[in-house]
Amino acid sequence: MTSALDQALLTRTAAQARENIPISAPPTTTVPVIEAIATGSPSLVLDQSVAAEWMAGQFTDQQQQDRIRRIFRKTMIDTRRFAVDPLDARIHAPRGAAATIQDRMRLFYRHAVPLAVDVARRALDRVDPADVGLLVFATSTGVIAPGVDVAVVEDLGLPRSVARLVVNFMGCAAAMNGIRAASDFVRANPHKKAMVLCIELNSVHAVPVEDVNDAVIGSLFGDGCGAVVIGANRGGERTEAGTIVIRDQFTHLFEATADGIAVAVNHDGITCELSENVPRYIYNGVAPVVGDVLRRNGLRQSDIDVWAIHPGGPKILLESARSLGLPPEASSTSWKVLGEYGNMSSVSLIFVLERIAAQTGADKPISAGIAFSFAPGVTIEGFVFDLVRR
């Protein structure tokens, strides 16, 4: 049975044929590809052991101090990078008064712009700025407009007609969210490029330590910036080694997990709260979602060579792997990024993808992979990809 839309199309096609009007060919299948990745971080490097001793010193009870030191050791983090020193009390009370959310946003903007412009410029090194049709800017640590996205457009000379999409408060999955939007854009506009730019400056929201939850947050998060440039491969085009071809994307909101990850704006800053239930939510939720996406792509889990899992902390990596029946070392690149940088929220997975893309020259010309991260909700978001190795 022909639908009204199908009938309308058939009628129009017949009319065009009678009047000798050229009928446009169906669009060529386009596949989004990550063509370039760039990352960067602030210059201040803080050793985790130093941070642990400082944090423990905020408590007077010896048992609490010992507990804090254990929490820091369990993070498997060696160093983190920061825009401002989170151990400096002056960040809590600029001008001698308690910091306000406005103080934090001004601090964010001042430090975010130069870092974001530098990373974006390097990502666009081989791209004509005029070809950029979409800029996705993602952060959960800065809410200001006109913001960093406008500064990037101005400083890099991007077209004033460039579409801008700002993604706030999608947490650690914001890069995946942005890549999904950018992929849809290049499918619809294959002659254009899209850039996803993420920056997180968690250090500008450091607060005086009042309880163990503050210590947990203070043990995990670091600062960083990452950008990916996405273009469209229209079939038959040569793909360079190091290119990540996005085969499929997925997102799934786990049921009854709203308490898991919460981001909020308070009078004195932006806060993130992590429930003790997050590891259980991840263990229960990851395997069913990944299994569904594999089946719809005609893949088995054994076909996946590369696992890019958000390095949000040891429990996130361990429970993700345990859910999938994988050994912890299956996501070895994620563990390395966690150790060197801590949890940079939305930025972390871009660091992981950059290192994976550099793994070229292997015997196998193409490796299949899956990347995913987690957002408030709790939501898993990611994509299936092919890594061109040679």
% helix / strand / coil in the chain, to the nearest 5? 45, 25, 30
| Measured distance CA(370)–CA(104) in Å, rounded | 36
Residue type, position 6, single letter? D
Residue located via tokens 């070392």: 329
CA distances from 242 to 239, 351, 359 (A): 9, 14, 7
> Which residue has tokens 């993604």?
167
Residues forming beta bridges with residue 179, ordered by sequence position: none
DSSP lists the bridge partners of residue 38 as: 227
Helix, strand, or coil here: 163? strand
Question: Which residue among the candidates 172, 198, 225, 272 is catalytic per the annotation?
Answer: 172
Which residue in the block uniquely carries the two structure tokens 């994509």?
383
Phi, psi of 248 (to 5 degrees): -160, 160
Catalytic residue at 225? no
115 by DSSP, 3-state: which?
helix
Q: How far apart are CA 195 and CA 115, in angstroms?
A: 16
Active site positions, annotated: 172
